[in-house]
Amino acid sequence: MARIQSDAHHTKDAERLLALRCTPALQSNSVLTQRRYKFELRHTHDLLRRARRNREQALSDLYDTLEARQKALGEKQQQLQAIRARMKTIRLERTKLSHDKDLVLSELNHVQKEVGMHRARLLRDLDDIYPIQLVHARDLLYSIVDLPLPNGIATTKENTTTLVHRTNLDETSAALTYVAQLMILLSTYLHTTLPYPLTSSGSRATVQDRISIMTGPRSFILSGKDNELYRYEYAVFLLNKDLERLMNQFHVPLLDLRNTLPNLKNLLVTLSAATLT
């Protein structure tokens, strides 16, 4: 457009110049003057024709640009329509997915409740299979399957009752084996990995500590019979640490790490009375 306006200005200037130069020639009868007039007329005609071509070319370029912009505008309008259609489809899909999500969440809540109830039943069955009963309230002495298990075992205080001292190594070993069996089942039902793996074979159970700095085997026997005292105490400590892991996993309070059966009973009662998720 600027180019066309510039050519128009040049043409007007040429016309004014031609008018100024031709006025004397029109008033004169001289042949030389008339020839000069014809020459200037041809020159001006060439200028006008060149300006016309420039205008036509500029106008053609302008039409091409306008056509290209109209084409681009049409393509953008088509893209906009496609985007609007896609957005409409996405809204419909989002509404459907939101509805499906609500259905899935509802079904998930139902399944979680069913799983929680089933786990609670399993824990109550474990409590029946491995009954833990209070034997002596003063020493907080509990028994598992009618086998008493003192708290702290090898570090029991001297002023405890004679009932604690009457527990022999065979009964304590058997009680610890039952505790290990119960905790293995609990870790399976509750999908909780124990930091110190437990194994039970017959009437003897062991606990493993793969990173222990102690000399000797990395497997510690849960029995004070035919076993070194420090390894026996460490085995019971690892067993209680496994129990602590289970209690912390389900936010059951732990008052004293050494109280093996009281803590285990508290865990069973708490989880069997609640709906686990």
Give the structural domain span for 107: 25-112
Last residue of a domain, one of 50, 77, 112: 112
Mean pLDDT lowest among 8-17, 94-103, 119-128, 138-147: 8-17
The answer to whether position 8 is within a domain reads: no
Whether 173 is in a domain gets the answer: yes
Position with higher pLDDT, 1 vs 137:
137
Do 146 and 47 reside in the same domain of the chain?
no
If asked whether residues 108 and 149 sit together in one domain, one would say no
Shared-domain flag, residues 145 and 243: yes
Segment 75-81 shows an average pLDDT of 93
Indicate if 171 and 99 belong to the same structural domain: no
Q: Are residues 98 and 233 located together in one domain of the fold?
A: no
Assign 98 a pLDDT band (cuts: 50, 70, 90): very high
Q: Kindly write down the DSSP assignment for every residue of 185-217, as one continuous string.
A: HHHHHTT---SS-EEEETTEEEEE-TT--SSS-
Reported as a single tens digit per residue, the pLDDT across 190-200 is 999 999 999 99
- The C-alpha angle with vertex 195 and arms to 192 and 201, in degrees rounded to 5, equals 90
**144 and 260 co-located in one domain:** yes
> Based on the domain organization, do 134 and 227 belong to the same domain?
yes
Q: Tell me which of 67, 85, 112 is where a domain ends.
A: 112
Query: CA 180, 165, 245 angle in degrees (round to 5)?
Result: 25
114 half-sphere exposure, CB direction, 13 A CA radius:
6
pLDDT tens-place string over residues 203-257 = 789 999 988 777 778 899 998 888 888 888 899 999 999 999 999 999 999 988 9
Instruction: Give the pLDDT score at 126.
Output: 92
Structure tokens at 112: 């979680």
3-state SS class at 141: strand
Return the ∠ at Cα 156 (arms to 165 and 242), rounded to 5°. 115
Domain harbouring 134, CATH code: 1.10.418.40
Q: Are residues 160 and 266 in the same domain?
A: yes
CA distances, 236 to each of 57, 73, 180, 245 (Å): 100, 81, 10, 14
Q: According to the model, what pLDDT value does residue 156 have? A: 43
CA atoms of 181 and 179, how far apart (whole Å): 5
Q: How many CB atoms lie within 10 A of CB 236?
A: 24
pLDDT bracket for residue 38 (50, 70, 90):
confident
Mean residue pLDDT of the chain comes to 83
> For residue 125, is it within any domain?
no
74 and 102 belong to one structural domain: yes
- Domain check: are 104 and 152 in the same one? no
Asked if residue 124 is part of any domain, the answer here is no
In a domain, 121, yes or no: no
40 occurs within a structural domain = yes
Tell which residue, 250, 249, 245, has the closest CA to residue 272: 250
Give the confidence band of 5 by pLDDT, cuts at 50, 70, 90.
Answer: low
Asked whether residue 9 is domain-assigned, the answer is no
Which residue pairs from 227-233 have beta carbons closer than 8 angstroms and sit at least 24 positions apart in sequence?
Answer: 229/154, 232/153, 232/154, 233/153, 233/154, 233/155
This prediction has a pTM of 0.63
- Greater confidence (231 vs 37) lies with 231
Please tell me the least confidently modeled range out of 33-37, 58-62, 151-155, 210-214: 151-155
Kind plus residue range of the DSSP H or E element containing 38: helix 31-129
Number of compact structural domains in the chain: 2
With respect to residue 117, please indicate whether it lies within any of the assigned structural domains: no
pLDDT tens-digit profile of 47-56? 888 888 888 8
Please tell me whether residues 180 and 207 are part of one structural domain.
yes
Residue 170 pLDDT: 84
Residues 191 and 233 in one domain: yes
